[in-house]
Structure 1
Amino acid sequence: MSDQEFMRALGYANAAFDLLKRSGIPPYPQFYELLYTYATGVNPTLNNRINTIFRNGAAPSQDLVETLYNEFLKSDVNDRMSSVSERMHARIEAVHDAIDAAMTTANAYSGSLQSATGDLEHELSPEMIRQLAGRLLAETRRMQDTNSELERQLESSRDDIAALQRDLDDVRRESMLDPLTKIANRKSLDEGLAEAIREAAETGAPLSLMLVDIDHFKTFNDTYGHQTGDQVLRLVAMTLKSNIKGKDLAARYGGEEFVAVLPSTDMEGAVIVAENVRKAIQAKELLKRSTNEKLGRITASFGVARFHPTDNAMSLIERADRCLYAAKHAGRNRVVSESELVELGGGGSSASAA
């Protein structure tokens, strides 16, 4: 973790503990997690709820904080996975029951055929033959009915399993997306970056990483409100995603920071992508949706690093973070690559001025 990221995380932690202390709420892990999440601003609905409480002159009580935690942070992904698992288990049990019934009927039918074979070895009267034929016909119809039920169960199971697979895919997709910006979240970033590093190390193909930080976001957020701030975050996320392609991955890193993982892209290509994103963000004029008030334009700073054979995810991110820090201190609204660090004197890193 770079000094800049450490200081940012420490600031969130201090803000969370301050809220716990001021509200007289015990610093249990789940309550700390809730207010730490509030401090980062990554869950806009949660922030709006807590901001409303503060605006009304109240402080969140322990009971209210527990309610908010259960509503916003107690993940329903596991519950949904459990539901899918239960449905899958029920469907498999139904198929097993149908197969068992079919096997029982088949065994009985086989026994009837063997018995009939034995009977036919003896001389039978016409009446006995008629009774034997009637018994075999009834057994055959029972066998047909059982097979039809098995076919119905298998057909139904095929449709149910396809629906369950879709549900599992939906749960997985939701668990990998940032709820506000609808681009990859930190979990998805960690997995995607690890895979990109593994592939680059094995093939020798280039890999670049781009860090993006919205300039003066806190001031903008405080001035125009969190809803407008959320609009800015969505705009930057959309702009970043629309300017990458193929196997590239756009993710929200935390707060007002974003990351783009750029496989098969060398430093020169990554800088071009970063410049395109920077110009696209700067070109967009913001409107406050509630009033159509023109809020001007926003800018962002960029740090670009390339993968080295000795890199892991942390070292690559730290180097991009130093580049981002250099871009901030070189005037913001610019792209700095690691090859420029020496020229700009940005070899170190400390807390960033947003």
Structure 2
Amino acid sequence: MTNLDFDRASGFANAALAMLKRSQIPPFPVYYELFYTYATGANSELNSQINAILTRSGNISLEEATGLCERFLKISDMEDRLRAMSEIMSRKITDVNQAIDYAMATANSYSGSLQQASGDLEAGIDEDALKMLSSRLLKETRRMQDMNRRLEAELENSKDDISVLQRDLDEVRKESMLDPLTKIPNRKCFDEQIILDLQRARRDDTTLALLVFDIDHFKAFNDTYGHLTGDQVLRLVAQVLKANLRGRDMPARFGGEEFIAILPETELRGALTVAENIRKSVQSKELLKRSTNEKLGRITLSIGVAELRAEDTVASLIERADQCLYAAKRGGRNMVVSETDLPPNEEAGVA
């Protein structure tokens, strides 16, 4: 790197840190990367978005910065982080194994020295030979003590490192199960949980309901008011879901503007009540553009509800809930449709 390159990189770094400080955003690596990229001008769309926010309000909020990171930096790096931790763990295991191998070799050598000394003593040796034997055994004993201290230190260090890795691994696992934008479980988490809940329902002979939600006209809303406002809508819906679900109920972002919720030990009638409460709660919230307090209107949900049947698989239960959702959209949106509302041919998958 030339002095000129170094000076330019330093300038970008200083500009990024200055923006973080001015907006009172914590200097976490992902936010630093966002503003460093802005300072370089390498992503014209990112710069356009940030410039629009700065023109409107002078500063960027933490929420806006998070939304920009999720959109432009592709921060879903779970696989890379897991791979890196796996490599570190592998190196630690290798280091411990090498330390143990060395300790075993030293112990075997020490054992051999003791056996040889025992033989010499039984055979009888003179005073000079005894002194030499004592000196050799003392040296071997000290070497053995040094080795034990080294092994103990290596194991202690590895224990601490592995504890840190375990904590990081737990955090990554938790993060990998959450949608980064809405902070509710993601599709991967849902796919794992629905299998467990179906198995539990059959084992305990209990029921289960599934709710599928879609934000009405979300694409048009997103195109009109921008992705950041669209992200606010997605977070709002997620918050309403969390507020209206209880106990072992689990909401998840299924993809795009579609959400899903598992309601264990819930019959169809109870699930319809929950769905209707969620629909009304979302509809009741008027959206405001934070920078200008401009009223953006209201959003609504179409919701499909299905109850687990004896012959259901995960796929058939989701498909039936999806059919209910599509029926709600065809019926005019902003409504709840259950499987009992479907015509027979549609329920069978003909429509």
Same fold? TM cut 0.5: yes
- 1:211-256 Cα offsets, whole Å, 9 max, x none, are 1111232232232222111100111012212322333221112221
- 1:17-53 Cα offsets, whole Å, 9 max, x none, are xxxxxxxxxxxxxxxxxxxxxxxxxxxxx9x75997x
Which residue does the alignment assign to 1:269?
A: 270
Matched residues in 2 for 1:321 and 1:170: separation?
Answer: 33
Residue 121 of structure 1 aligns to a residue in which SS? helix
Q: Partner amino acid for 1:262?
A: L
Q: Partner amino acid for 1:145?
A: D
- 1:293-331 Cα offsets, whole Å, 9 max, x none, are 232332212111001111112221221122223333444
- Larger CA deviation: 293-302 vs 104-113: 293-302
Which residue does the alignment assign to 2:145?
A: 144
Which residue does the alignment assign to 1:210?
A: 211
Gaps (5+ residues) in structure 2? 1-42, 53-71
| Matching of residues 197-236 of structure 1 within 5 Å | 197-236=198-237
- Larger CA deviation: 260-269 vs 118-127: 118-127
Give 1:93 deviation, angstroms. Answer: 1.0
Matched residues in 2 for 1:266 and 1:51: separation?
Answer: 50
Identity %: 57
Gaps (5+ residues) in structure 1? 1-45, 56-69
Which residue does the alignment assign to 2:58?
A: none
Which residue does the alignment assign to 1:317?
A: 318
Q: Partner amino acid for 2:326?
A: Y
Residue 305 of structure 1 aligns to a residue in which SS? strand
Cα distance 1:284–1:175, how it changes in 2: closer, same or farther (>3 A)? same
Which residue does the alignment assign to 2:303?
A: 302
Matched residues in 1 for 2:341 and 2:179: separation?
Answer: 32
Matched residues in 2 for 1:347 and 1:174: separation?
Answer: 37
**TM-score (ref. length: structure 1):** 0.72
| Matching of residues 180-259 of structure 1 within 5 Å | 180-259=181-260
Give 1:135 deviation, angstroms. Answer: 1.9
Which residue does the alignment assign to 2:154?
A: 153
Give 1:348 deviation, angstroms. Answer: 8.4
Residue 303 of structure 1 aligns to a residue in which SS? strand
Residue 342 of structure 2 aligns to a residue in which SS? helix
Q: Partner amino acid for 2:212?
A: L
Residue 336 of structure 1 aligns to a residue in which SS? strand
Matched residues in 1 for 2:234 and 2:274: separation?
Answer: 19
Q: Partner amino acid for 2:287?
A: L
How many correspondences in the alignment? 288
Which residue does the alignment assign to 1:293?
A: 294
Matched residues in 1 for 2:153 and 2:305: separation?
Answer: 58
- 1:162-211 Cα offsets, whole Å, 9 max, x none, are 22223333333333332322222222222222222233233321111001
Matched residues in 2 for 1:333 and 1:261: separation?
Answer: 20
Give yes or no for the alignment of 1:78 onto 2:79.
yes
Matched residues in 2 for 1:308 and 1:87: separation?
Answer: 47
Which residue does the alignment assign to 2:166?
A: 165
- 1:51-78 Cα offsets, whole Å, 9 max, x none, are 97xx9xxxxxxxxxxxxxx9649x7433
**TM-score (ref. length: structure 2):** 0.73
Matched residues in 2 for 1:266 and 1:151: separation?
Answer: 59
Matched residues in 1 for 2:347 and 2:220: separation?
Answer: 27
Cα distance 1:81–1:240, how it changes in 2: closer, same or farther (>3 A)? same
- Larger CA deviation: 313-322 vs 90-99: 313-322
Q: How well do the aligned residues superpose, as a CA RMSD in angstroms? A: 3.1
Cα distance 1:335–1:224, how it changes in 2: closer, same or farther (>3 A)? same
Give yes or no for the alignment of 1:337 onto 2:338.
yes
Residue 305 of structure 2 aligns to a residue in which SS? strand
- Larger CA deviation: 288-297 vs 112-121: 288-297
Which residue does the alignment assign to 1:179?
A: 180
Residue 182 of structure 1 aligns to a residue in which SS? coil
- 1:115-172 Cα offsets, whole Å, 9 max, x none, are 1112222444444333322222221111111111111111222222222223333333
Cα distance 1:224–1:350, how it changes in 2: closer, same or farther (>3 A)? farther
Which residue does the alignment assign to 2:99?
A: 98
